[in-house]
A and B are shown apart, each in its own frame.
Chain A
Amino acid sequence: MNQAEAILMGLRIWGSIGAVVAAIFLTIGMDRIDEDARGAYIFRPLLIPGILVIWPLVLWRWYLYESGRELWARRYDPPRRAHFAVGWILPIGICLIILTGLSLRQTWPAEIAPVQLSGPAEVSQ
């Protein structure tokens, strides 16, 4: 198996586990932890792609709710300071990336002429 196959196999395994988690969470787990979900079914298929991708986080959050370890205070503390980090990382990153890209650009070296380094007689093969 080459690396590319291994990566795709890894993704398939990840998604397969996610599918199992989705099946259990959407049929059993959700009703236990979210009263707004009880009796609401049409929206559930919309959640499947998300569960396939972040099923470990789904399991962790589910555990927090079941065990009562979900702390209310954490729900009201948005990471607003990150806006400031984004505010300077984004423009600097954009500048660096584009400038690097532009500096790599080549122009067709039309002026370089072929040069014969040695004649056929000197070719050993």
Chain B
Amino acid sequence: MSVKYIPVQWNPNKYIYDAVMLLGVGLFLYVFLYASPGILSHERPINPQVHNARAFGACAFVMLTVILCIGPLARLDPRFLPLLYNRRHFGVMTVFVAITHAGYIVDWYFAFSSSNKYEALLFANTSYGQLAGFPFEVFGIFALFTLILLAATSHDFWMKFLSPPVWKRIHYLIYPAYLSVVAHVSFGILQDQQNHAFTMIFIGGAAAVGILQLIAALKERRADQELASEAVEWVPVCDVSEMKEGFAKIKLLANGERVAVYLNEGKLSAISNACAHQNGPLGEGQIIDCLVTCPWHGFQYDVTNGRSPAPFTEKIPTYNLKTEGTRVLVDPRANPPGTYVEPVPAGATS
């Protein structure tokens, strides 16, 4: 939300977030790389390159699993929203860890032949017609390319340039990528592994992601059904008495748009529920210092005109409102972003 783009907008919370994330990742790698060889009582050690590749591969899997749990956790309980706040740094770090894993693999298993190692990666195993012995490397390649794409388009510029919905559609690729990672593990190391502590951790992690995503989706579906309205003109939102000062009621319109109706200083205003930054749910935020504040990254808007305070320039659509008795009604036709709408007095109920 800066006026001018900078590489990273640091703040104290991001420092803490990154420090905790890096400490966790660093500890995982340190323990795997340096503590576990002493505990393994193998007659001859695993090749260092393979040991390193496994450490970074396992770390990338665990990181990706944690990342994919954050989204549904925050949708299930807003108290976890701080974990979402700087998730992109977590994602970018995961890419570096995954690239390191791929590097060790390519430089070990696919090196030492008379062919280029990247070509060898593609042609060494061509058993595409079978499940056992399938070249599981391609699942890893797909996931790695996807992660690189997502990290490479994570700067705020991309969200604005691509528009948040297009950006979000691209970033939904994280889900096929995760399935691909699961396949990469299932058709790769899982086939050989004899120690089933590994199997249990792998299945547990993947199951946590799957179950959390399912529960969050079901909850959201239920909530959406309550919010939905088929009305074409003047959609009823709620009764004025249900409104709380500084908070919003969300309505899902027939065309799929969401409106957030806010009660601010005793007056009602309606804005788009989608934040201009990443389409975060503005109606789940609250008013701070007379400004609607997005629960995801704290972008702020004047509730009467949908404009961010100067020097910021973000704008969101506004909606026209009226009250009939104590009922709040919203016109489902959005005004262009930044259009001022006179707030509607909420009456004696405020």
Residues from chain B with a CB closer than 8 A to the CB of A105 are: 190-191
- Is there an interface contact between A75 and B165, defined as CB atoms closer than 8 Å? yes
User: DSSP majority for the A interface?
Assistant: helix
- Is there an interface contact between A94 and B160, defined as CB atoms closer than 8 Å? no
- Is there an interface contact between A104 and B211, defined as CB atoms closer than 8 Å? no
Residues from chain B with a CB closer than 8 A to the CB of A115 are: none
- Is there an interface contact between A94 and B209, defined as CB atoms closer than 8 Å? yes
Q: Is B265 an interface residue (CB 8 A)?
A: no
Residues from chain A with a CB closer than 8 A to the CB of B4 are: 36-40
| Total interface residues in chain B, CB < 8 Å | 72
Q: Is A4 an interface residue (CB 8 A)?
A: yes
Cα distance A78–B256 in the bound complex, in angstroms: 9
Q: Is B217 an interface residue (CB 8 A)?
A: yes
Q: Is A93 an interface residue (CB 8 A)?
A: yes
- Is there an interface contact between B220 and A84, defined as CB atoms closer than 8 Å? yes
Q: Is A79 an interface residue (CB 8 A)?
A: yes
Contact with A along B217-236 (1 / 0, CB 8 A): 11011000000000000000
Residues from chain A with a CB closer than 8 A to the CB of B152 are: 49-50, 52-53
Q: Is A70 an interface residue (CB 8 A)?
A: yes
Q: Is B195 an interface residue (CB 8 A)?
A: no
A57 to nearest B CB, angstroms?
A: 7
Q: Is B19 an interface residue (CB 8 A)?
A: no
Residues from chain B with a CB closer than 8 A to the CB of A91 are: 207, 210-211, 213-214
A73 to nearest B CB, angstroms?
A: 7
Look across to chain B and name the residue whose beta carbon is closest to the beta carbon of A81: B256
- Is there an interface contact between A54 and B257, defined as CB atoms closer than 8 Å? no
Contact with A along B221-257 (1 / 0, CB 8 A): 1000000000000000000000000000000000011
Q: Is A74 an interface residue (CB 8 A)?
A: yes
Within 8 A of A (CB), among B112-164: 116, 118-123, 131-132, 148-149, 151-153, 155, 157-158, 160-164
Q: Is B266 an interface residue (CB 8 A)?
A: no
- Is there an interface contact between A79 and B165, defined as CB atoms closer than 8 Å? yes
- Is there an interface contact between A84 and B221, defined as CB atoms closer than 8 Å? yes
Residues from chain A with a CB closer than 8 A to the CB of B131 are: 100, 104
Please list the residues of chain A having a beta carbon within 8 angstroms of any beta carbon in chain B.
Answer: 2-5, 7-8, 33-40, 42-43, 46-47, 49-50, 52-54, 57-58, 61, 70, 72-84, 86-91, 93-95, 97-98, 100-102, 104-106
Closest 6 CB pairs of A and B: A87-B217, A101-B186, A91-B210, A78-B279, A4-B122, A50-B152
